[in-house]
């Protein structure tokens, strides 16, 4: 079988795409997989690193602020669709898989017109523009949240969840304590609560500002903290922390052993990206979610609200975070009853083996 996978632009699109490819290859090692991405975007680097070939299209998103610039965008779109036709004629895929992003729109639209059955994977609780435009062309649409019939035909929807990184729950608290104590020279123990603060590889400005603004309280608290700042904010965060004597805070730009960080965490502060939420659900981690305001259709707020409505997470608005985030966190991390309630409720939303489930739907289409 041959599979054409398209999408990217952000890690939130690329990671599920690669996970689906891995699941397909696991079931059928002889299958052929070709990715289609956008030139100059993250997928052109990440996909080859994962071991798959990729073809880049000269495609960009529409500039809503400067409409006059979109003439070039339209020209590039036409060029991209012509290129996709040639790719499909040469590769002859059995199924097309779209995960969102500019390239996915062009690739899946052309694939559908050329008679290739397509499957879409929507990561968020508020559907992206590309997938909404492709809904009538798709045979199946795999989603991560209930209630997605607001955006897609009900008979096409399959609730699969989002793929997450492998071995996510492989860490133990004992292993985590050993790793963090040895790596960062701290003396964390199992007797104290641990707060994990994560903001993605680049970091989350508001979350970091919220911690810096109340750093004295955090240092004086009786909890342990793993503070992943992201590379863009590490220098400022480290400088602020250096002004205060402390032995209960690890400040790092990147956590390479996330399974161990999760294993140690009693409470997590995080943005509300699709992959992050799926990981929190699978691990049953109590969390305070701070949706990023800088995303399309405010989809992170929709992701977070899907949990909040089930009393499975706490939401703090980005504009309020500097004032209230840390006080909420310090109160919650010491409230064992509330932590257990959030743990119990978020576990009910977990959808394990998502990549394999999606791969199964893809293979059903290929066999028709």
Distance CA 6, CA 8 (A): 7
Predicted local confidence at residue 171, as pLDDT: 85
Predicted local confidence at residue 68, as pLDDT: 60
Distance CA 137, CA 152 (A): 11
Distance CA 21, CA 99 (A): 12
Predicted local confidence at residue 24, as pLDDT: 97
Q: At what angle do helices 234-242 and 205-213 cross, to 10 degrees?
A: 10
Q: Quick check: 49 and 17 in contact, CB under 8 A?
A: no
Q: Quick check: 52 and 31 in contact, CB under 8 A?
A: no
Helix (H) or strand (E) holding 225: strand 224-228
Q: What is the 3-state secondary structure (H, E, C) of 86-122?
A: HHHHHHCCCEEEECCCHHHHHHHHHHHHCCCCEEEEE
Q: Which parts of the chain register pLDDT below 50?
A: none
pTM: 0.86
Domains, the chain, with CATH or none: 2-162+353-367 (3.40.50.2000), 173-347 (3.40.50.2000)
Predicted local confidence at residue 256, as pLDDT: 86
Distance CA 69, CA 62 (A): 8
Question: Per 3-state DSSP, what percentage of the chain is helix, strand, and coil (rounded to 5)?
Answer: 50, 15, 35
Helix (H) or strand (E) holding 270: strand 267-270
Q: Quick check: 212 and 237 in contact, CB under 8 A?
A: yes
Distance CA 101, CA 38 (A): 9
**Closest by CA position to 334, among listed 264, 267, 272:** 267
Q: Quick check: 252 and 228 in contact, CB under 8 A?
A: yes
Beta partners for residue 157, in sequence order:
141
Predicted local confidence at residue 358, as pLDDT: 97
Cα–Cα distances (Å) from 322 to 140, 148, 250, 316, in that order, read: 42, 33, 20, 10
Predicted local confidence at residue 225, as pLDDT: 98
Degrees, nearest 5: CA angle 197-264-283: 85
DSSP string, 142-204: EESSTTGGGTS-GGGEEE------TTTT---HHHHHHHHHHHH-----TTS-EEEE--TTT--
Cα–Cα distances (Å) from 95 to 101, 117, 256, 347, in that order, read: 18, 5, 35, 33
**Closest by CA position to 162, among listed 339, 338, 299:** 299
SS3 for 349? coil
Q: What is the 3-state secondary structure (H, E, C) of 43-87?
A: HHHHHHHCCCCEEEECCCCCCCCCHHHHHHHHHHHHHHHHHHHHH
Q: What dihedral do alpha carbons 235, 239, 240, 246 form, nearest 10°?
A: 120
């Amino acid at each position: 079988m041959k599979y054409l996978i398209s999408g990217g632009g952000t890690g939130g699109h690329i990671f599920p795409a690669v996970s689906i490819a891995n699941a397909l290859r696991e079931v059928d090692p002889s299958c052929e997989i070709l990715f289609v991405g956008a030139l100059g975007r993250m997928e052109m680097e990440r996909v080859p690193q994962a071991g798959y070939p990729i073809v880049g299209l000269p495609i960009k998103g529409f500039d809503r602020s400067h409409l006059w610039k979109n003439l070039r965008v339209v020209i590039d779109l036409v060029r991209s669709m012509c290129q996709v036709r040639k790719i499909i004629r040469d590769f002859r895929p059995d199924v097309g898989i779209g995960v969102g992003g500019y390239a996915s729109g062009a690739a899946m639209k052309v694939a559908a017109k050329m008679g290739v059955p397509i499957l879409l994977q929507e990561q968020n609780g508020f559907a992206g523009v590309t997938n909404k435009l492709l809904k009538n062309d798709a045979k199946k649409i795999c989603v991560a949240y209930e209630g997605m019939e607001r955006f897609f035909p009900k008979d096409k929807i399959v609730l699969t969840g989002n793929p997450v990184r492998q071995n996510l729950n492989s860490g133990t608290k004992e292993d985590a304590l050993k790793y963090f104590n040895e790596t960062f020279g701290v003396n964390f123990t199992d007797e104290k609560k641990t707060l994990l603060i994560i903001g993605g590889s680049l970091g989350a400005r508001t979350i970091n500002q919220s911690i810096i603004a109340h750093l004295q309280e955090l240092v004086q608290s009786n909890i342990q903290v793993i503070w992943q700042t992201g590379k863009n904010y590490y220098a400022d965060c480290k400088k602020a922390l250096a002004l205060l004597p402390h032995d209960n805070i690890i400040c790092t730009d990147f956590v390479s052993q996330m399974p161990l960080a999760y294993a140690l965490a009693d409470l997590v502060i995080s943005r509300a990206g699709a992959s992050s939420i799926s990981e929190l659900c699978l691990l049953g981690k109590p969390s305070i979610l701070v949706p990023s305001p800088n995303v399309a259709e405010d989809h992170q707020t929709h992701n977070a609200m899907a949990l909040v409505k089930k009393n499975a997470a706490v939401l703090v608005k980005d504009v309020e975070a500097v004032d209230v985030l840390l006080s909420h966190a310090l109160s919650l991390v010491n409230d064992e009853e509330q932590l257990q309630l959030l743990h119990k409720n978020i576990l009910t939303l977990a959808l394990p083996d998502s990549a394999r489930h999606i791969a199964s739907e893809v293979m059903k289409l290929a066999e028709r």
